[in-house]
A = this chain, B = another copy of it.
């Protein structure tokens, strides 16, 4: 797993650092961090294990999950290409959640220790991480509102709108998540998700084919997303 012939970060500098200055880019480049390939459903790190590395997702999708003492899975967040994740190690000894690949994924693994030794560039990297953290915190705020104050139809509708927000209305958008995973993300059951999908397909609000979805009636979906 560790030694594979995938290109190292240098040859495909992660999006995450796109805002960094020249010297920082060079410093990162110098780390010669290898990128790793994960198949679907592989564990990248587990909650409670030593948080030695920070990760950047080059390609594919990752889910960050937590499991309740009662054994229920909750998907905290879906990581998209270009994003950094797993930075608990900058503050704590252990990861606070688990990371699992949704499908084949290509990630850069950067040891926390090498970030600490970046010298001049360290502060810029910390600034980038601070910025990313603030954004993620805003996203977490939004999700807390979803889970705390909305019904299942509203949650699913806003999820679909958000998921397809980068896709033209007449295009198909790959739905990387299974029904179960959507359920675990939204804090509902798989049956509830399935029933809403079925209903909305009948009502021609959305379409689905071959793991891809399309929003056919965005207005109606937006109405559902925000109507008690």
Who on chain B is nearest to A185 by CB?
B148
Tell me if A39 is interfacial: C-beta within 8 Å of chain B.
no
Q: How many copies does the complex hold?
A: 2
| A220 interface residue (CB < 8 Å to B) | no
Interface size class of A (residues with CB under 8 A): 35 or more
CA distance A36 to B184 in the complex (A): 43
Using a CB-CB cutoff of 8 Å, which residues 57-91 of chain A contact chain B?
64, 66, 68-74, 76, 87-88, 90-91
Is there an interface contact between A138 and B74, defined as CB atoms closer than 8 Å?
Answer: no
Taking A68-B226, A90-B130, A147-B187 as given, write out 19 further A-B residue pairs in contact, using a Cβ cutoff of 8 Å, ordered by the A residue number.
Answer: A70-B150, A70-B154, A71-B228, A72-B150, A73-B149, A74-B144, A76-B144, A87-B134, A88-B138, A90-B131, A91-B134, A92-B138, A97-B141, A123-B126, A126-B127, A137-B140, A144-B147, A148-B184, A149-B187
Closest 5 CB pairs of A and B: A148-B187, A133-B133, A69-B226, A140-B140, A123-B123
